[in-house]
Amino acid sequence: MDFFADFLVRFLVQFQSPTLGFLIGGMLVAALGSKLKIPNAIYQFIVFMLLMKIGLEGGIEIREANLLAMALPALFSVLIGILVVWGGIRIFSLLPGVNTEDGIATAGLFGAVSASTLAVAIVMLEEEGIVFEAWAPALYPFMDIPALILAIVLANIHQKKQKGGKDIRVDVWQIIKESLRGSALSALLLGLALGLLTNSGSVLNSFYEPLFRGFLSILMLIMGMEAYDRIKELRSVAHWYAIYAALAPLMHGLIAFGLGYIAHLLVGFSPGGVIILSVIASSNSDISGPPTLRAGIPSANPSAYIGSSTSVGTPVAIAVGIPLFIALAQIVFDL
């Protein structure tokens, strides 16, 4: 009983973080029909800022890191990406009223990774004083890309079976290129390279680091407003999407927490790193995933997968997932 009481208290403390406040505030503002607008250009700039900061920090630390320690978590990331998509498709295939291609696309999006959710996790870990390997956010592409590729390949195999005979080839290299060229991953990878190769400590500490939290709060406001707007779209598709979107992030995060714990025992993956891995797994792509899936699985209904991800999956991953994984880590690792 003590365990649960302790857990609940820690969980509620996490819930008061200002980051979550902005997310809920955004939803409230949109629900009340406010004319408050954050221009699109600012949104894109914020995404760049956040990922550049995460990249620079990671790049600077990778210089001294033992890269062999990264191998197992990276392998686990690939594994989780594949498992999440495969499992998601299995789940959707059992549900009534779900179009197969819509289900595959939704599972793909939930296997892919959200940069904004990752940024929130980093701030919350900093607030809690939990250290993590700065290269841990670089696990992002290891999960993101395999998940999107698997979903698109499976959707095309399914279409081929239905149409019979007509040979559809999936250009895997094209999907990898598209993912890496996406605005979020480009900024992260550029940041990693700059952090690794240049003396970027001063610009990181004087510019990117101080602005990180402020910009993240604006991003959360935008995500909240978008989440509310997309709920209307989700209403037009089967209810199962909303139920999947509410439960899947937590399930995926817990699987990753388990694998992360194994990495902790085997190669000393830090508790903070385990949390980051869980958050990456529980997050669902919002920036680069949807266009990639729209191009790769054009027959899937975007209202199904974007509605599930933006209006339910992402808020759940941020508001419930992150506090849950932090609280769990605090108890498991006795932080």
Partner 1 sequence: MTFFKAKKIVIIAEKILSEKICAIIDASGARGYTVVPAGGKGAHRRHFTSERASVVDDFSTVRIEVIVSDKSVAETIGNKVVEECFDNYSGIVYLEDVEILRPDKFNGE
Lookup: tokens for 253: 């995060």
**Binding characters for partner 1, 238-277, by CB under 8 A (x = yes):** ----------------------------------------
Taking CB under 8 A as the criterion, which residues in 211-230 touch partner 1? 222-223, 225-226
Ramachandran angles phi, psi of 166, nearest 5°: -60, 120
Q: Which of 119, 113, 114, 121 is nearest to 51 (CA)?
A: 119
CB of 301 to partner 1, least distance (A): 9
For partner 1, the closer of residues 73 and 182 by Cβ is: 182
Q: Which of 312, 322, 319, 320 is nearest to 109 (CA)?
A: 312
For partner 1, the closer of residues 216 and 274 by Cβ is: 216
Taking CB under 8 A as the criterion, which residues in 272-331 touch partner 1? 286-287, 290-291, 294-295, 298-299, 302-303, 306, 310
Q: Is 131 helix (H, G, I), strand (E, B) or coil?
A: coil
How many C-alpha atoms does 318 have within 13 Å on its Cβ side? Answer: 36
Neighbours of 30 (CB within 10 A): 19
Question: Can residue 11 be called a binding residue for partner 1 (CB under 8 A)?
Answer: no
How many C-alpha atoms does 31 have within 13 Å on its Cβ side? Answer: 11
CB of 202 to partner 1, least distance (A): 31
Question: Can residue 233 be called a binding residue for partner 1 (CB under 8 A)?
Answer: yes
In whole angstroms, what separates CA 209 from the centre of its chain?
21
**Binding characters for partner 1, 90-109, by CB under 8 A (x = yes):** --------------------
Question: Can residue 43 be called a binding residue for partner 1 (CB under 8 A)?
Answer: yes
* All residues at 6 or more sequence positions from 109 whose CB lies less than 8 Å from its CB, including other chains: 151, 284, 285, 289, 290, 293, 305, 306, 308, 309, 313
Applying CB under 8 A, which of residues 24, 29, 38, 180 lies at the interface with partner 1? 38
CB of 84 to partner 1, least distance (A): 20
Asked whether the beta carbons of 76 and 209 are under 8 A apart, the reply is: no
CB of 233 to partner 1, least distance (A): 7
- DSSP secondary structure, 276-292, as one string: HHHHHHH---SSSHHHH
Q: What's the CA gap between 140 and 155, in Å, rounded?
A: 23
Lookup: tokens for 232: 């209307």
Please state whether 301 falls in left (phi above 0), alpha (psi between -120 and 50) or beta. beta
For partner 1, the closer of residues 200 and 292 by Cβ is: 292
* All residues at 6 or more sequence positions from 167 whose CB lies less than 8 Å from its CB, including other chains: 160
For partner 1, the closer of residues 37 and 63 by Cβ is: 37
Applying CB under 8 A, which of residues 5, 37, 97, 173 lies at the interface with partner 1? 37
CB of 89 to partner 1, least distance (A): 20
CB of 229 to partner 1, least distance (A): 9
For partner 1, the closer of residues 87 and 99 by Cβ is: 99
Give me the amino acid identity at 335: L
For partner 1, the closer of residues 47 and 91 by Cβ is: 47
For partner 1, the closer of residues 201 and 298 by Cβ is: 298
Q: What's the CA gap between 29 and 74, in Å, rounded?
A: 39
For partner 1, the closer of residues 138 and 225 by Cβ is: 225
CB of 280 to partner 1, least distance (A): 18
Q: What's the CA gap between 105 and 295, in Å, rounded?
A: 11
Can you give the binding site for partner 1, defined by CB under 8 A? 37-40, 42-44, 222-223, 225-226, 233, 236, 286-287, 290-291, 294-295, 298-299, 302-303, 306, 310
